[in-house]
Amino acid sequence: MTDQQNPDRPVRIFGCNRTTDGLLSASIRLRTIDDLNSVSKNFVRVHGPKAASGDSAVLDGPMAINKRSILFVQELNPPTSKPKANFGNFDISPVQFQVGDYTVQGFVHVPPGGSPMKRLDQDHTFLAVTTALVSGPDGEFTAPFLALNKRHIATAQVATVAQPVG
C-alpha cells in the first residue's frame, strides 16, 4: 500500500508512564500534527500497540490514549507524500524544551519576524518541532518531527545560536 492508501501512521507515543509504538489512525487528508490538534477528539487511537517502555502490559487490540497523558509523539516513518498545505513562508527558530524527564532541542516554525514563545500561547494543544534532538532517561535520539504536548512543557527557551542536531 502507498502512503495515500493507508492513513495509519507508525508512531511512538511518549506518555507519563509508558512509551507505546503503534499505528496512529489519522485522516489521510491531515498531517499528524493536525490530527493531534483536532478538538473533537480527546483520545488518540492506536492499532497494533506495543510497549516500547513502561510498567504495564499491553493487550492485543486497539488502544485509546488520552491526549492529556501524552508528552510528545514521534513519527517513526514519516510519510513520503505529505498532504498539501499552503502555509506561506516560515522562519525557523531554535528552541530547547523541558518536557517531563526529556530535554528536546529543535526548531519551531514561525511567521517571518514571529516569536516561538508566542506559538506556545496559541490555542492548539500540540506544537510541531522539527530536526529534534531528544535526551531522556533512555538516552538520546534524533527525529525529523515531533509533536510536543504544550500541557507538559515545563520550560521553553529560545537558543541564541542554533545547536547542531544529529
Q: What is the pLDDT of residues 6-41, one digit of tens each?
A: 468 899 999 988 899 999 977 777 888 888 998 888
- Residue 113 has a pLDDT of 83
Q: Which fold has domain 91-158?
A: SH3 type barrels. (2.30.30)
The residues spanned by each domain of the chain are 9-75, 91-158
Q: What is the DSSP string of the chain?
A: --TTT---EEEEEEESSEEEEEEE---TTS-HHHHHT-TT-SEEEEEEEEEEEESS---SS-EEEEGGGEEEEEESS--SSPPP------EEEEEEEEETTEEEEEEEEE-TT--HHHHHTSS-SEEEEEEEEEEETTEEEEEEEEEEEGGGEEEEEE-SSPPP--
Taking only the tens place, the pLDDT of each residue in 34-81 is: 889 988 889 999 998 988 886 677 888 899 999 999 999 999 986 555
Q: What is the pTM of this model?
A: 0.83
- Residue 4 has a pLDDT of 46
What are residue 73's phi and psi, to 5 degrees? Answer: -125, 135
Its CATH class, for the domain covering 9-75, is mainly beta
> Is-same-fold flag (9-75; 91-158)?
yes
- Residue 152 has a pLDDT of 97
**Is the pLDDT confidence value at 5 over 50?**
no
Largest separation between any pair of C-alpha atoms in the chain: 48
